[in-house]
Amino acid sequence: MTQELEKLQKQFVGKGAVLLPFFEDDDISDILINGIRNLFIEKNGQLVQIDPLFVNKDSLAEIIERMIVPIGKRVDATQPYLDGRLVDGSRFHIILPPVAIDGPFISIRKKKKKQVICLEDFVSSEWVQFLKAETLRGANLLIAGGTGAGKTTLLSCLLGWVPPQERIAVVEETMEIQVNHAHVVHLEARAASPEGKGEVTLRDLVRNTLRMRPDRLILGECRGAEAFDMLHAMNTGHRGSLGTIHANSARDALRRMESLALMAGLSIPLRTVKEWIGSSVHGVIFVERRGSLRQISEIISVSGLEGDVYRVTPRFRI
C-alpha cells in the first residue's frame, strides 16, 4: 500500500471508508457525489453511475468534516462552497444546500499517479521538437482547453525542459502542477475566513512572485483579474512564462485573455490590452479530450496586431 493510500485511510475512517476503493483504482480520475442519491465516477474517460453509498446526509456531513479539518478550513451556511486538497494531494470542491439543491455536492479530482507522461502522448515528435524549442527560447505560452482536457499535465511536461539554472515561480488556486525541476517556489491562494479575513488571491500571489526574482512565472489557471498581472509580468522581462486558460479554441484564448485582463478594473482601453497580449503572448497551444485520449489539436504563433486583429500564424491543426 502506498503512503498516499495510508494517509487517505486515516482521513476516511468510519463512513468515509466507502470512498477508498475509488482511490485504489488507478483507472478512476474523478469522483462526483451528487447528494445521497447519485454517485458517478470517471473511469478511463467515461462517466459511470454507481449505486448510492450513503444512507443519509449525516454520513455525507461526516465525510465533509474529515475532508476539511486537516486543511483548517470551514464550509457552512455563511460560506457554502470550498476548494481544497485531500491529504494525498487530490483536489476537491464542496458546495452545500440551499445553494446546492439536493446537495451537498462533492467533486474530487484524484491526484495523478506519478508516471512518465511526455509530450509524445499529446502530439507527434515533429511538434514535440517545436514546443521544446519554444520553451527553451523563452516563449510566453498559453495552454488552452476545456475542463479535464489535460492542460495542467501538458504544462508540467513543458516545465520539464526549463534549464536547471532558472528559478520557477508557480502560482495556483489549488496546488496541482507537478514540476520536476531543481528550483521551484510554489504558492497557493487562500480563501477568506468566515469573518472575511485572511484572503490571499491569485493577484496577490502574482504580485509577490515578481519580488522573488523568478526567471519564469507559471500561473496555474487564468480565470480572473490576475490575467492583467500576468500580462504585466510578461511585458516586464519575465520571458518563458506559462499559464492555462479555459477556451474553445486557440484564438478564443486570446479573446478570453482580453476579458479577464479587463476585470482588473483599471480603466485601461481595450486597444492597450490587445497590444499587450499581441506583444507578450508568443503562442497558444489548444488541447482537448476525445474520450480517454487527450491531445493537442491546434498550435498558433502570435506576433502583434494588424489593426485590431491579432497577427496569427497557424502552426499545427488536426
Q: What is the pLDDT of residue 15?
A: 67
What is each CA distance from 305 to 234, 280, 299, in whole angstroms? 17, 11, 18
Q: Which of 38-52, 84-98, 185-199, 234-248 has the lowest mean pLDDT?
A: 185-199
Each residue's pLDDT tens digit, 257-300: 999 999 988 888 999 999 999 999 999 999 998 877 889 999 99
In angstroms, the CA 297 to CA 312 distance is 16
Separation of alpha carbons 145 and 285, rounded Å? 8
Measured on CA atoms in the order 27, 29, 33, 34, is the torsion positive or negative?
A: negative
Cell of 314: 497557424
CATH architecture of 119-317: 3-Layer(aba) Sandwich (3.40)
* C-alpha R_g of the chain: 21
pLDDT confidence bin for 167, thresholds 50/70/90 = very high
Any idea which fold 3-109 has? Beta-Lactamase (3.30.450)
DSSP string of 252-277? HHHHHHHHHHHTT-S---HHHHHHHH
Is 60 exceeded by the pLDDT of residue 198? yes
Q: How far is CA 239 from CA 98, 168, 227, 280, in A?
A: 46, 11, 16, 9
* DSSP state for residue 183 in the 8-state scheme: S
Q: How far apart are CA 305 and CA 311, in angstroms?
A: 5
Residue spans per domain, the chain: 3-109, 119-317
Long-range contacts of 300-307 (CB under 8 A, 24+ apart): 300/250, 300/251, 302/254, 302/277, 302/278, 303/278, 304/275, 304/278, 304/279, 305/274, 305/275, 305/278
Is the pLDDT reported for residue 138 higher than 80?
yes
| pTM recorded for the entire structure | 0.82
